[in-house]
A and B are shown apart, each in its own frame.
Chain A
């Protein structure tokens, strides 16, 4: 049977590997069906969450495949598509030359991301490439409809496009990349089947801790906190597992790191996220947690934040406070 690439992607049910797990075929279809001569493909390598390294791993080990994936996307969505390789600053410094050589005369431009985490937000990436401040845009319109300079734009994570190349070559084996780190013997990036549970991933690479521990899964800041008895589920988000020693980890220190991260990396646009993260940081620094205030802040962060960054802030705090610190919220 002669399937086109989008059908092939749909058949293996490839989901976006940036964290949101949106069906890749559907996204491609949307951009393909948008009218318009000029279209864009952005390969997103902003990898903003701490403790996630898998996109960097692709840049290091599979640059050819990545560029091939971008070119396939450009060809498939039609129009005279142009590509952007959107690199986090340190990745840009490290890999720019290598990629320039691989890209050669292909219409792909390498772009150095200015901001931090929010640069990873799809619409914020568009703002950045257009030379504005990295703030998320009001949606709709989605980037698939009106992205870069108002043109239909396909934004995919590096890992997604790497696997597109594999699918095209019929060598995709239903795998994904896992970043495993923290209190483990052998931290690193591993490729396993997408359906593995967290416990299985840890066991497969002989990293299953022998100590009392908890893990953070799906991102080193906004990921969920899970206890040792909750590991019988697949790895979510950006595919990271960070192991923490239950006895030696200072929860305040951990929360301090998260809140620093959110305060630094958010765009400060909306009230709950700008002010909420600041107030959380303040409370954590003073080690004076007021339950009522935390409840209020979590409520507005989750319910009223402008973008998914703000909405995701309460998750790790809530988990840590209730599961590890035993605070009733």
Chain B
């Protein structure tokens, strides 16, 4: 980044975390000397906080217990005495490894958003390679996502989105859920193949978000249904499906 006269115009990109690390550090040095930019960045952060607040969701209750419990393992920073580590602490610490499942999920999210970009074969192949690192459920789902004849359908229930991803050649269906209505305790979501009106059990999803490959093959099923069942699942649906998606 050239330290030019227009340095002041980096406030937006900086506040949006759109600069790379070196640019960001350079701009932070400028911020220490430029009150106008410091004020503008602060206002932009407040503005962005409004955008962020508009995304508020209901938090899964178990997250709070988990987070509070974790505080006991984390040493708090003492009040700042010098500028030395004012901003450095957090940026680099998040580099620890995490499962590579993100791709499948992000493809599914794209599908849920109304379009699917499965035809990126190159990226798809990479996904399959990375899938080696996953355990088999995720690998199966990933493979399904990258099959040549993959198709998707999406439906909503309440605030939630359910997406099926299927391949006739493989005879398999994956289901991806995002923010389905929370389950009462002792309940589970259950998936079904719809064999022209007869519902065939196809697996359990005990949470309101997550994914699985359905148990069993498509055979002549014309759709996939989702119902709420007692924990452990049922042989037959005990109520109307909350979601019914066509396999065509």
Q: Do A and B come from one complex?
A: no
